[in-house]
Amino acid sequence: MYTTLVSAEQLQQLQAAKSRLMVFDCSFDLMKPEAGAQQYAAAHIPGAVYANLDTDLSAKHGVPGAQGDVVVAQEDGVPASGGRHPLPSREKFATWLSGVGFSNDMQAVVYDRNGANFCGRLWWMLKWMGHDAVAVLDGGLQAWQAAGGEVTDREEPAHFQSNFVPGEPLARLATTDAVVRRLGQPDQNLIDARAPARYRGEVEPLDPIAGHIPGALNRPFAENLGPDGKFKPASQLRAEFEALLAGRDPATVVHQCGSGVSAVPNLLAMQIAGLGTTALYAGSWSEWSNTPGLPTRQGAEP
């Protein structure tokens, strides 16, 4: 069972052994939402299921509200978070997993072409559903092809319906209310995964308000990867996070970003580093900055 990372070679071995396995392609582009599905259609790992961030891994977005916020549609039940990519309810997500034929006895392998930015979302959501056997393909599709892995442009056949049963969550979800209650307290330390310019409020291409949650530390998610596009060694990741936390307890960390997606590589990196299971604030800046009365900050933290 692989629970954090799996190499291209290890995935090839799983395939050769005909293991109970499902591979998911999570490629996406925030600025061009249709691009991921197009990339998947052009080249994907044979047998892979496409998981669309907007339609499969998020609740329906609804319509813009009076304050510029996103009013989440609730036809499929109350979403588990707010923000630009609201988490669907666990029941809704279980229905999707069953619909693509994924079952509780399978190993899941997730990948993208984007530095684990988008496939991390599915990795975390499966943990949230109580499914531990899920791993990110280290280095993504690029590493797969570099290792001689086959890709195809064929249309994949539909899978038989399964009956995925949610279990006790293995991931910690932080709500806006919980983050607000602990803001500035030693038992909560926020890590913001956005690019430094967005964190400091110098630019904001996606959300109406620029800045960051007061007190949040900044670690752009791409810093977890080496020049080869794979996660850095566990010892190096541990040293970097310990330097960032500067004595703060890793167990108090809550990860966030713009909409709860690019924060996951930081969360995964801490787990690879042996620093435990940390929490995700899925609503992140897009929910925080659109909630009336909550403080925001620009510039770097002192």
Burial of 19 (0-12, 13-18, 19+ CB in 10 A): exposed
Task: Please give the positions annotated as active site.
Answer: 257
Q: Which two tokens stand for residue 58?
A: 């998020």
Distance of CA 171 to the CA centre of its chain: 12
Q: Which of 152, 89, 141 is nearest to 117 (CA)?
A: 141
Q: Which residues partner with 192 through β-bridges?
A: 218, 256
**CA distance readout (Å), 117 to 79, 168, 281, 285:** 22, 25, 16, 17
**CA distance readout (Å), 28 to 59, 166, 168:** 16, 26, 29
Residue 211 CB contacts under 8 Å (≥ 6 apart), including other chains: 200, 201, 204, 289, 296, 297, 298
Q: Which residues partner with 63 through β-bridges?
A: 71
Helix H or strand E encompassing 211: none
Q: How many Cβ atoms sit within 10 Å of the Cβ of residue 78?
A: 12
